[in-house]
C-alpha cells in the first residue's frame, strides 16, 4: 500500500497472557495511526497517535531504528537522525497520546530512507507483587508493534500509485533460489522507492497458486528480499502481487 501522510487507524488487541499464575489475565487495546507514516522533504516532523481503548493504563516505550536489507534479510540499527518525542508514555484508559517523529538531520537529496518504529508495551507489576518473594511460575507476554517510517530528502517524494497494466511493475524482478534445503522467492527492487507486497501468487491459465493471501513484506530501493515458498507450491506461470493497492505483474529475472 502507498505510504500516506494520513491513514486510517489500525486496531491492535494486546493480550498479557499468564500461564500457571494465580492472578487474572490483564488485557488492553491499543490504536495506532497512521500506520504508514512518512516525513516528506518539506517537513521537519510528522505525527503518530496512540490511543488506549482498554480498561487499564498502558505504559509504552517508543524507539526508532534505521532499517536496511542485506542478503535477503532485514537489519535494524540504533540511530539519531529521527527521534520520537516522548519516548516513554503512560496512556490512561480512553486517552490519546501524540508522538512527534522529529527529523534531526536531513536525508541526502533525492533519496528515500527507511526506518522502523518499535512500540513496546511495558507490563505493570501485579498489585500484590512483593520484591522479596520467590518468582512465580508465570509467563507475561509483552507486546511489540512495528511500523515502517519513510523519510525523503530534498527532491524526493513518496511513490505514486502506478495504474495496473499488462506491463510488469518497473524495477521489480523475481527468481527462485535454494537456501537451507528450501525453495525461496527472491524479489529484487532496482527502483528509487520501497515496494510493499501483498496477495502474492503465481498465475497460469486461470489457476492461482498463492504465496500469501496477506502481506508478504517490503523490498527497499536497491535491495532484494527472500521468502520461503509454501510447501508443495510449484512456481509456474506469472508472478502477480498487489502493490500500493493495485494488482501488478512482476518480471522473472
Instruction: List per-residue pLDDT tens for the chain, 253 residues long.
Output: 333 333 445 444 333 332 333 333 334 589 999 999 999 999 999 999 999 999 999 999 999 999 999 988 999 999 999 999 999 999 999 999 999 999 999 999 999 999 999 999 998 765 555 445 545 555 556 789 999 999 999 999 999 999 987 789 999 999 999 988 899 999 999 999 999 999 999 999 989 999 999 999 999 999 999 999 999 999 999 999 999 999 999 999 9
Do 14 and 100 lie in a common domain? yes
Peptide bond into 86 cis (omega under 30): yes
How many Cα atoms within 13 Å fall on the side-chain side of residue 58? 31
Strand partners, 102: 45, 83
Residue 166: inside a domain = no
Q: Residue 211 sits in which domain range?
A: 172-252
Do 126 and 176 lie in a common domain? no
In this prediction the pTM is 0.83
Residue 159: inside a domain = no
Residue 3: inside a domain = no
Residue 167: inside a domain = no
Q: What CATH code is carried by the domain that includes residue 245?
A: 2.60.40
Which of 92, 121, 152 is the last residue before a domain boundary?
152
- 140, 14 contact by CB (below 8 A): no
- 55, 167 contact by CB (below 8 A): no
Count of structural domains, the chain: 2
Amino acid at each position: 500500500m502507498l505510504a500516506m501522510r494520513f491513514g486510517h487507524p489500525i486496531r491492535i488487541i494486546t493480550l498479557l497472557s499468564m500461564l500457571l499464575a494465580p492472578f487474572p489475565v490483564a488485557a488492553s487495546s491499543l490504536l495506532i495511526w497512521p500506520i504508514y507514516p512518512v516525513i516528506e522533504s518539506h517537513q521537519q516532523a510528522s505525527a503518530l497517535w496512540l490511543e488506549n481503548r482498554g480498561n487499564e493504563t498502558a505504559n509504552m516505550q517508543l524507539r526508532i531504528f534505521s532499517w536496511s536489507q542485506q542478503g535477503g534479510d532485514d537489519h535494524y540499527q540504533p540511530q539519531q537522525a529521527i527521534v520520537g518525542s516522548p519516548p516513554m508514555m503512560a496512556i490512561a484508559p480512553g486517552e490519546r497520546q501524540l508522538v512527534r517523529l522529529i527529523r534531526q538531520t536531513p536525508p541526502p537529496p533525492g533519496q528515500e530512507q527507511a526506518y522502523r518504529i518499535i512500540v513496546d508495551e511495558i507490563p505493570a507489576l501485579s498489585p500484590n507483587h512483593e520484591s522479596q518473594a520467590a518468582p512465580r511460575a508465570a509467563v507475561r507476554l509483552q507486546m511489540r508493534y512495528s511500523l515502517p517510517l519513510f523519510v525523503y530528502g530534498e527532491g524526493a517524494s513518496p511513490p505514486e500509485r502506478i495504474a495496473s497494466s499488462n506491463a510488469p511493475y518497473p524495477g521489480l524482478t523475481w527468481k527462485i533460489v535454494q537456501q537451507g534445503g528450501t525453495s525461496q522467492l527472491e524479489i529484487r527492487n532496482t527502483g528509487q522507492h520501497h515496494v510493499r507486497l501483498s496477495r502474492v501468487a503465481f498465475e497460469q491459465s486461470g489457476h492461482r497458486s498463492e504465496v500469501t493471501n496477506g502481506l508478504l513484506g517490503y523490498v527497499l530501493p536497491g535491495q532484494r528480499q527472500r521468502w520461503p515458498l509454501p510447501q508443495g507450491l510449484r512456481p509456474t506461470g506469472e508472478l502477480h502481487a498487489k502493490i500500493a493497492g493495485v494488482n501488478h505483474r512482476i518480471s522473472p529475472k
